[in-house]
Chain A
């Protein structure tokens, strides 16, 4: 239950991930770590050690880089209604990927809203880096915490690069133009998401999947310590689902960015995330690493399906059989 527990299990996780990580490090990222690492330290002085992707052995230190999001004793509601979400204690561990899972209406997105200070809790608080997210100035929070929301829309004639440039909004003063660092951040984000060839295309002409990548580029250009993603893969074809998730995972591995993502596909969540938080009727049902959280009973109780859970080297796999009548 404590953070140390999570880290223990995580240690074994990173062990299995390490070879893949190293292989990736040899590729496109070979040049990058030096420069951006310096810039991350520039953005907030609190960083002491910056771990790059070059040395996989140090990735287990990643949690020290980015701050965690902690939820303590919150009740969330819209207007004067009854609480939609109630949680005693939840943690989105630093430098790890945490997926929120649960059926429709279980409060995943609501919980995510409280993390981004969009929704004030009736009681309790969400803390980011030890501070209540509501105490942050909006710009300050936006420099450290990014959100890829579901209901985004840009005028069709906006190009991918223009969209990504908006990600620099919190880093620029009211009258400031784009600094050289801003341009570099936009270039990095576009490259990381792999939309370089689309950079000058208007988003209105892109497919749904390409569009989502463009939006992801915008959020990455924000260069935050933590990232919230609200169902980033819903409605995308498989290819683009993986493109989105891969980009997020690489970011997490390279810079230890804390990620909290709402995912609909439980199998995908199990493969992708280091931790899962399963919500049922607005309350956490279980949370922890996928192989501890995912089992037949959870699928029955939370999702109302009968399913087989297999355990492979890549984490648990879920084969749904049938829906259970309530």
Chain B
């Protein structure tokens, strides 16, 4: 009888009751950081303009009122036009002012790729941490980054014809590494500690192979771009990379959100998850595949940007708690904030020279981890 009045209300509210103040705060704050970093990012470069000019270029009505311009940027010239005409929109060329052109054509992609990379790495790390029930897990530690990096180097140096399929190659390499890690860790089931140790083994071997490949590179340019890949860099990214990463992000992130409940149950421990009717190994493997895809996507467009997958879920957990519905959403916002902010640092620190963003995230990540290690005794358990 009490149920009559009581159950109705949660029924309506419950779908979004997990959407609490702390989560909204993280989302708003992260968005602010992304916007601010983005504005700084688009105003610097060979052609310097003030933040104000950059701002007005970003919000140039010529861009926003002509959907075909945005469609062409996000979907590519041909496909964008096709979609525009398919939707009954004009496909006319729009003459943009120089500032707008520079900001949108050349500088915007770097911000957008940073956003996509951040979101993918953070989500990937969050999933790996739940799957292994270990706070220290990340695509980096589980060997996924090393596998993806090796695959990319191979396609840059040895199989040069594959360059067009980088996200797939990277995800493939990451998947191979992860399957290897899983196989090494498997002993009638897996456990978090064995997974991490296996990850270290595979990372070490793949890392050596990466370095070995440098010796087979013919010219210095290839070596340099290879090094940029292995440290993770957003320098010189183009709309091409945005188009490359966008679809996979739109697959991996929603899948992770859908899997949030599975992740929550996985966190209760293998035995409990099993007694609740979960096919633990199957779910763990499927979610890992999603995480590999997300990591592969990020690595394909920006190389191995370290620490993001490790720190972001960690920071976010302190703020919104461990519920994966909240955690994943928060990661989707906080990951981009960290990467775009770090990329501003990468651009400005030694200006005019630019650092790979991975160096900056490493410089932020290391000390953050040291701080955690000092603060928390039980670090590692989730």
Determine how close the nearest CB of chain A comes to the CB of B128; give it in whole angstroms.
Answer: 16
Contact of B1 among A31, A146, A157, A158 (CB under 8 A): A31
Determine how close the nearest CB of chain B comes to the CB of A60; give it in whole angstroms.
Answer: 30
Pairwise interchain contact A149-B322, C-beta atoms closer than 8 A: no
Closest residue to B133 on the A side, CB-wise? A153
Binds A, one of B25-33, B213-221, B263-271, B344-352: B263-271
Contact of A151 among B3, B6, B264, B271 (CB under 8 A): B271
Determine how close the nearest CB of chain A comes to the CB of B289; give it in whole angstroms.
Answer: 16
* Bound-state Cα–Cα, A180 to B275, Å: 23
Q: Which of B222-277 contact A (CB under 8 A)?
A: 258, 261, 264-265, 267-269, 271-272, 274-277
Closest residue to A172 on the B side, CB-wise? B261
Binds A, one of B8-16, B64-72, B197-205: B8-16
| Per-residue contact bits, chain A 160-171, to B (CB 8 Å; 1 contact, 0 not) | 001100110110
| Per-residue contact bits, chain A 137-181, to B (CB 8 Å; 1 contact, 0 not) | 011111100110101111111100011001101100011011010
Determine if A311 is an interface residue (Cβ-Cβ < 8 Å): no
* Bound-state Cα–Cα, A151 to B274, Å: 13
Q: List residues of chain A with CB within 8 A of the CB of B268.
A: 152-154, 163, 166
Pairwise interchain contact B3-A177, C-beta atoms closer than 8 A: no
* Bound-state Cα–Cα, A101 to B240, Å: 67
Determine how close the nearest CB of chain A comes to the CB of B127; give it in whole angstroms.
Answer: 15
Q: Which of B300-326 contact A (CB under 8 A)?
A: 321-323
Determine how close the nearest CB of chain B comes to the CB of A35; give it in whole angstroms.
Answer: 8
Determine how close the nearest CB of chain A comes to the CB of B43; give it in whole angstroms.
Answer: 40
Q: How many residues of B contact A (CB 8 A)?
A: 29
Determine how close the nearest CB of chain B comes to the CB of A160; give it in whole angstroms.
Answer: 13
Pairwise interchain contact B14-A178, C-beta atoms closer than 8 A: yes
| Per-residue contact bits, chain A 94-124, to B (CB 8 Å; 1 contact, 0 not) | 0000000000000000000000101000000
Question: A155-B322, A162-B323, A166-B265 known; A142 and B258 CB under 8 Å?
Answer: no
Pairwise interchain contact B279-A151, C-beta atoms closer than 8 A: no
Determine if A183 is an interface residue (Cβ-Cβ < 8 Å): yes
Determine how close the nearest CB of chain A comes to the CB of B69; give it in whole angstroms.
Answer: 37
Q: Which of A194-222 contact B (CB under 8 A)?
A: 202, 222
Closest residue to A179 on the B side, CB-wise? B11
Q: List residues of chain B with CB within 8 A of the CB of A187.
A: 3, 6-7
* Bound-state Cα–Cα, A25 to B25, Å: 48
8 A-B pairs in the complex with CB atoms less than 8 angstroms apart: A118-B274, A149-B269, A149-B275, A153-B381, A155-B322, A155-B323, A162-B264, A177-B15
Pairwise interchain contact A170-B276, C-beta atoms closer than 8 A: yes
Closest 3 CB pairs of A and B: A142-B277, A155-B322, A170-B277
Determine if A45 is an interface residue (Cβ-Cβ < 8 Å): no
Closest residue to B381 on the A side, CB-wise? A153
* Bound-state Cα–Cα, A202 to B11, Å: 22
Question: A141-B277, A169-B278, A170-B277 known; A152 and B322 CB under 8 Å?
Answer: no
Q: List residues of chain B with CB within 8 A of the CB of A166.
A: 264-265, 268, 276
Determine if A79 is an interface residue (Cβ-Cβ < 8 Å): yes
Determine how close the nearest CB of chain B comes to the CB of A262; give it in whole angstroms.
Answer: 14
Pairwise interchain contact B279-A154, C-beta atoms closer than 8 A: no
Pairwise interchain contact A147-B277, C-beta atoms closer than 8 A: no
Q: List residues of chain B with CB within 8 A of the CB of A147.
A: 271-272, 275
* Bound-state Cα–Cα, A140 to B272, Å: 15
Pairwise interchain contact B269-A151, C-beta atoms closer than 8 A: yes
Closest residue to A149 on the B side, CB-wise? B271
Pairwise interchain contact B277-A169, C-beta atoms closer than 8 A: yes
Q: Name B's A-contacting residues (CB within 8 A).
A: 1, 3, 6-7, 10-11, 14-15, 188, 258, 261, 264-265, 267-269, 271-272, 274-279, 321-323, 381-382
Q: List residues of chain A with CB within 8 A of the CB of B265.
A: 166, 169
Closest residue to B382 on the A side, CB-wise? A155
Q: List residues of chain B with CB within 8 A of the CB of A178.
A: 11, 14
Closest residue to A188 on the B side, CB-wise? B3
Closest residue to B262 on the A side, CB-wise? A174
Determine if A184 is an interface residue (Cβ-Cβ < 8 Å): yes
Q: Name A's B-contacting residues (CB within 8 A).
A: 31, 79, 116, 118, 138-143, 146-147, 149, 151-158, 162-163, 166-167, 169-170, 174-175, 177-178, 180, 183-184, 187, 202, 222
Q: List residues of chain A with CB within 8 A of the CB of B321.
A: 155, 157-158, 202
Determine how close the nearest CB of chain B comes to the CB of A226; give it in whole angstroms.
Answer: 12
* Bound-state Cα–Cα, A146 to B14, Å: 25
* Bound-state Cα–Cα, A177 to B13, Å: 12
Pairwise interchain contact A138-B274, C-beta atoms closer than 8 A: yes
Determine how close the nearest CB of chain B comes to the CB of A4; give it in whole angstroms.
Answer: 32
Pairwise interchain contact A152-B269, C-beta atoms closer than 8 A: yes
Contact of A180 among B7, B269, B271, B381 (CB under 8 A): B7
Closest residue to B3 on the A side, CB-wise? A184
Determine how close the nearest CB of chain A comes to the CB of B187; give it in whole angstroms.
Answer: 9
Pairwise interchain contact A142-B11, C-beta atoms closer than 8 A: no
Q: List residues of chain B with CB within 8 A of the CB of A174.
A: 258
Contact of B276 among A31, A167, A202 (CB under 8 A): A167
Closest residue to A219 on the B side, CB-wise? B275
Pairwise interchain contact A157-B274, C-beta atoms closer than 8 A: no
Contact of B278 among A116, A138, A143, A149 (CB under 8 A): A138
Q: List residues of chain B with CB within 8 A of the CB of A163.
A: 268
Pairwise interchain contact A158-B14, C-beta atoms closer than 8 A: no
* Bound-state Cα–Cα, A10 to B382, Å: 45
Q: List residues of chain B with CB within 8 A of the CB of A139.
A: 277
Pairwise interchain contact B11-A183, C-beta atoms closer than 8 A: yes
Q: List residues of chain A with CB within 8 A of the CB of B267.
A: 154-155
Pairwise interchain contact A143-B277, C-beta atoms closer than 8 A: yes
Pairwise interchain contact A149-B272, C-beta atoms closer than 8 A: yes
* Bound-state Cα–Cα, A47 to B175, Å: 48
Q: List residues of chain B with CB within 8 A of the CB of A79.
A: 188
Pairwise interchain contact A153-B258, C-beta atoms closer than 8 A: no
Pairwise interchain contact A158-B322, C-beta atoms closer than 8 A: yes
Closest residue to A139 on the B side, CB-wise? B277
Pairwise interchain contact B278-A184, C-beta atoms closer than 8 A: no
Q: A138-B274, A147-B275 are in contact. List 20 more A-B contacts (CB 8 A).
A: A79-B188, A118-B271, A146-B275, A147-B271, A149-B271, A149-B275, A151-B271, A155-B267, A155-B382, A156-B322, A157-B321, A158-B323, A162-B323, A163-B268, A166-B276, A169-B261, A170-B277, A180-B11, A184-B7, A187-B3
* Bound-state Cα–Cα, A62 to B19, Å: 44
Q: List residues of chain A with CB within 8 A of the CB of B1.
A: 31
* Bound-state Cα–Cα, A103 to B278, Å: 32
